Amino acid sequence: MFAAHRPSGRPLAILSALAEEQDGLVEQLQDGQRVRHAGREFWQGRLGGLHVVLALSRIGKVAAATTSVALIERFDAGAIVFTGVAGGVGSNVQVGDVVVGSAYVQHDMDASPLFPRYQIPLTGQTAFAADAALERALLAACAVGLQGLQHAGRTPQIHQGLIASGDRFVNGLDETRGIVEALQSHGHQPLAVEMEGAAVAQVCHDYGLAFAAVRSISDRADAAAHVDFPLFVRDVASVYARRIITELVRALALND
């Protein structure tokens, strides 16, 4: 299933912004090798039988784009999966849920009136779609990987839809409303906000590589977001990432 979307022999890149978002994966690497490049650490090895490269981008769209290019140019990544956290902005997207992105838009891209709002200038592109096979694989990995898990007494719900990225930690209901209503007035219905995904999607689009992302919801992008976010990142994010990615690589290795 997946192999058709990833040139054979090339590793799957697993990218996160923060170490806590992929804690435990490095420890599971077989034949793990650490390489320093572009001011970052990359880990090459095998995970669940699949050839992978793990990387941390740090926060923001430029950091994510730099790391994505390094993954492709230096580490020969054949596809990129992002795993991390996001603020839930869809009405039923709660802390502890996950969102698998089906498309990615930059909510702070605005070169209007030269170009339509949200459009990446000179490309004609606004939202970048996830690779359909990788998105399906992530959804399946969430369903299996999160089985039996509870967060704050709730079973995590798995959502699928638009993720909006921007160089802003969204930390207030007025700010959230502004971002969501502006996107909606241009026909976009975001479920979550974060700070990297659409940049990685754009790089992968430019290179013709498959991309998909899963975000666990750490906060509601409201006035408590700066309190909820670090607690979730510290205590929960790596549990979700480990369960989902372990399941993803197991399923992809079977199809390799």
Let me know if 174 is a catalytic residue. no
Least Å distance between CB 221 and ligand ADE?
A: 4
Q: And the tokens for 192?
A: 């979550």
Residue (211 or 229) nearer to ligand ADE, CB: 229
Among residues 97, 131, 135, 219, the one annotated as catalytic is 219
Residue (28 or 157) nearer to ligand ADE, CB: 157
With residue 35 as reference, give the H or E element that holds it.
strand 30-37
247: burial class by Cβ within 10 Å (0-12, 13-18, 19+)?
buried
75: DSSP letter: T
113: burial class by Cβ within 10 Å (0-12, 13-18, 19+)?
exposed
Least Å distance between CB 225 and ligand ADE?
A: 4
Least Å distance between CB 203 and ligand ADE?
A: 19
Residue (45 or 197) nearer to ligand ADE, CB: 197
d(C-alpha 147, C-alpha 145), whole Å: 6
d(C-alpha 219, C-alpha 226), whole Å: 8
239: burial class by Cβ within 10 Å (0-12, 13-18, 19+)?
middle
Residue (183 or 225) nearer to ligand ADE, CB: 225
Let me know if 206 is a catalytic residue. no
Nearest residue to ligand ADE, scored by beta-carbon proximity: 87
Among residues 21, 97, 194, 247, the one annotated as catalytic is 21
Residues binding ligand ADE (CB under 6 A): 85-87, 169-170, 193-195, 218-219, 221, 225, 229
Least Å distance between CB 107 and ligand ADE?
A: 10
> Looking at the annotation, which residues are catalytic?
21, 219
